[in-house]
Amino acid sequence: MGTGNFFWVIFYFASLCSASLANNAKINFREKEKKVLDQILGAGKYDARIRPSGINGTDGAAVVSVNIFVRSISKIDDVTMEYSVQLTFREQWTDERLKFDDIQGRLKYLTLTEANRVWMPDLFFSNEKEGHFHNIIMPNVYIRIFPNGSVLYSIRISLTLACPMNLKLYPLDRQICSLRMASYGWTTNDLVFLWKEGDPVQVVKNLHLPRFTLEKFLTDYCNSKTNTGEYSCLKVDLLFKREFSYYLIQIYIPCCMLVIVSWVSFWLDQGAVPARVSLGVTTLLTMATQTSGINASLPPVSYTKAIDVWTGVCLTFVFGALLEFALVNYASRSDMHKENMKKKRRDLEQASIDAASDLLDTDSNATFAMKPLVRHPGDPLALEKLRQCEVHMQAPKRPNCCKTWLSKFPTRQCSRSKRIDVISRITFPLVFALFNLVYWSTYLFREEEDETF
């Protein structure tokens, strides 16, 4: 065999050996992960029932750092006073029993999907009503074990949480909904929850709610003491501001329009009884239906809400417009009765005057009748002629703008029914405008006060 062929044979065997060693190295590396897991979690080597030791291996309480990522908030229900949220929940703690060799940095962490293999904090959500894990396509949960014994637990969950609300300023209100997490069995002597340093709560950027806006959120501690000990607790306060534009379009503007439509009856003729009655009854029933629809979407609370004040006053104005027509109708009939009585009196006076003139005409042949030149106090004809003379003798006056404007308003000589209508045309809009000024200034000022707190 030549020297060249011998060299190529040696090179071939060397390449085969290097490839096999590389393959063995890869296989051995994966096998090393299995050996590490068997080593730290094998039977008789790790007990998940025993909690980890404290910081630096002391006998103190185990410290668990918590952070959450809010993925979505689906609804905020005013009737049941609850809200639904989907979040990624993470816990991190150190368990020195889980330390392992990272093989010169090749093993960054070990991943598990079975939470019962290691010790887990007994955290629960104290204001939870309903909740479930996500298992599509696989369970959305993992556990990472790092070489220094640090454990990271992450899970995606959906929760329906209780949110007690104060609806006194509804719909100009802000609501604070909390997310409370606490230890169920371990006291603060054994387990302490802390917010992760930096940014413990994160919210998705494109978070959109139909009727609310998430203004801000605050993290805090809420440790609770019971007769069995003190338990560690964390909470997140989510401040929601109710969007007012929806209620302005759907409630406030329609109520204003109904009130203004009820004022149209003031401009209709007093004799148009069917038109005024139908207008008043229709607006009253529509306003009552609007009020009942608003109350149906809210819980029956014991206090008065801002929307109750608005709908109550608007309903009062509509009802007042209907009562105004009843008063106008009564005053019109009363005026008509008085006018009929006056007409009868005039007819009687005219009849007596005609009878007296007939007597004078029959006696004109016997006695010369001369009308007196001097006015007697009880002579109605003389009074009428004197009044006409006084009118013609009055000097012309310059027109006064104020008197001309005031002459448009009812005077004592006008009928009472007409006077009531004209006064209502001015009084109702002014009072409603004053109510709007007081209402908006009061509740908007209260909203600013609540925001400062």
What is the amino acid identity at position 290? Q
Q: Is the peptide bond before 137 cis (omega within 30 degrees of 0)?
A: yes
Best-predicted range by mean pLDDT among 5-14, 290-299, 433-442?
433-442
The pLDDT of residue 6 is above 70: no
| Mean pLDDT value across residues 51-66 | 85
Q: How many CA atoms lie within 13 A of 37 on its CB side?
A: 17
**Residue 257 pLDDT:** 94
**Residue 406 pLDDT:** 44
Measured between alpha carbons, how far is residue 302 from residues 170, 292, 308, 442 in Å?
14, 16, 12, 21
**Residue 83 pLDDT:** 94
CB 397 within 8 A of CB 384: no
Tokens read off for 320: 């007042």
| Mean pLDDT value across residues 166-186 | 93
Measured between alpha carbons, how far is residue 365 from residues 358, 368, 369, 370, 372 in Å?
13, 7, 9, 13, 19
Q: What confidence category does residue 453 fall into, taking pLDDT thresholds of 50, 70 and 90?
A: very low
Residues 432, 306: Cα–Cα separation, whole Å: 16
Q: What confidence category does residue 248 fall into, taking pLDDT thresholds of 50, 70 and 90?
A: very high
Q: What confidence category does residue 333 fall into, taking pLDDT thresholds of 50, 70 and 90?
A: confident
Residues 86, 157: Cα–Cα separation, whole Å: 6
Tokens read off for 82: 């609850």
Residues 211, 75: Cα–Cα separation, whole Å: 9
Element (H, E) at 173: none
Q: What confidence category does residue 13 fall into, taking pLDDT thresholds of 50, 70 and 90?
A: low
Q: What is the pLDDT of residues 397-422, one digit of tens each?
A: 565 665 554 455 554 445 677 888 88
Contacts of 142 (CB under 8 A, 6+ apart): 111, 112, 113, 153, 154
Q: Which of 36-45, 192-201, 265-274, 327-336 has the lowest mean pLDDT?
A: 327-336
| Rg, Å, the chain Cα set | 46
37: three-class secondary structure by DSSP: helix
**Residue 24 pLDDT:** 46
Q: What confidence category does residue 55 fall into, taking pLDDT thresholds of 50, 70 and 90?
A: confident
Residues 269, 273: Cα–Cα separation, whole Å: 8
**Residue 27 pLDDT:** 46
CA dihedral 427, 433, 437, 438 (to 10 degrees): 40
Please tell me whether the overall predicted TM-score, pTM, comes out greater than 0.85 for this model: no
Does residue 235 or residue 364 have the better pLDDT? 235
What φ, ψ does residue 383 adopt, rounded to 5°?
-65, -40
**Residue 337 pLDDT:** 60
How deeply is 117 buried, as exposed, middle or buried, from its count of CB atoms within 10 A (0-12, 13-18, 19+)? Answer: middle
Q: Which of 143-147, 221-225, 311-315, 329-333 has the lowest mean pLDDT?
A: 329-333
Q: What is the pLDDT of residues 301-312, one digit of tens each?
A: 889 999 999 999
Does residue 101 or residue 428 have the better pLDDT? 428
Q: Which of 197-201, 232-236, 340-344 has the lowest mean pLDDT?
A: 340-344
Q: Any bridge partners for residue 234, and if so which? A: 181, 221
Measured between alpha carbons, how far is residue 91 from residues 95, 96, 199, 388, 430 in Å?
13, 16, 14, 104, 62
What is the amino acid identity at position 443? Y
